[in-house]
Amino acid sequence: MFSFHKYQGTGNDFIMIDDRNLQFPAHNHQLIQTMCDRRFGVGADGLILIQNTKGFDFRMIYFNANGFEGSMCGNGGRCAVAYAKTLQIFENKTYFLACDGEHNAFIEGQNIHLQMKNVVEIETNPNFYFLDTGSPHYVEWVENLEKYEVFEKGKNIRYNDRFNEKGTNVNFVEKINEKTIAIRTYERGVEDETYACGTGATACAMVASMTKKMPSPIDVKVLGGDLSVSFEVQNNQFSNVFLIGKAQKTFEGFFENNMNL
């Protein structure tokens, strides 16, 4: 039986587990997959462990809903910060480790400000852009985003010849006004459209800055709500990048492993 807390950030939801005693069986992919299942488990886009690690306030380990460790998750990172705050690991500012390296974050009111990795290269193609914001992201400008076939087209791009077995997250983006974009994202690992994607919002904001000359901060509308991305940019190289938005606890409970996983 495992104690867990459930958090969501703009509709991206995560199972949070305090694993500072290293008791959770992180190698058990089937267990994690079952816990994330929305019919047989708790239901979540992913599972996050909070562990101790030398030189940092904590370490965040993120697992996709398929049960396997994933790349950086921006909204998961914001939820991890909110959860770690309740564990009294830090007060208002924190310095933690994730799979893509070190992160700074701070809490201001209801918003979590999470520093993302610098991006110094954006691949430019005739119909799309590709960059790594902690996770790989394909970005394509579209019109009439609300009615766009995100699942079908995203799934086809995720495994196409350009990205092969490693795959990529796929974002479709539309400019709303001079300060705002809207995005919809097909996420690898979840293998479906999600309500939000933090690294995807970050990637799309950078592409909007580069191609549409939109200034920082850029507001990003996702299915699950509103995010904001701030940055410094010079010669299409991005630094001091922050993903900003709310992260909230929804409930807590115990997961009883009665399936002998």
Q: Do residues 131 and 122 make contact, with C-beta atoms less than 8 angstroms apart?
A: yes
Q: Do residues 191 and 223 make contact, with C-beta atoms less than 8 angstroms apart?
A: no
The number of beta carbons lying within 10 Å of the beta carbon of residue 171 is 28
**Which tokens sit at 158?**
């995720």
**Which tokens sit at 17?**
């587990």
Residues forming beta bridges with residue 46, ordered by sequence position = 14, 64
Q: Do residues 185 and 198 make contact, with C-beta atoms less than 8 angstroms apart?
A: no
Give me the catalytic one of 36, 73, 79, 204.
73
Whether 197 sits among the annotated catalytic residues: the reply is yes
Please state, in angstroms and rounded to a whole number, the distance separating the CA atoms of residues 25 and 210: 43
Give me the catalytic one of 36, 79, 99, 197.
197
Residue 143 half-sphere exposure toward CB, CA atoms < 13 A? 0
Whether 36 sits among the annotated catalytic residues: the reply is no
H or E stretch at 103: strand 101-108
Catalytic residues, which ones? 73, 197
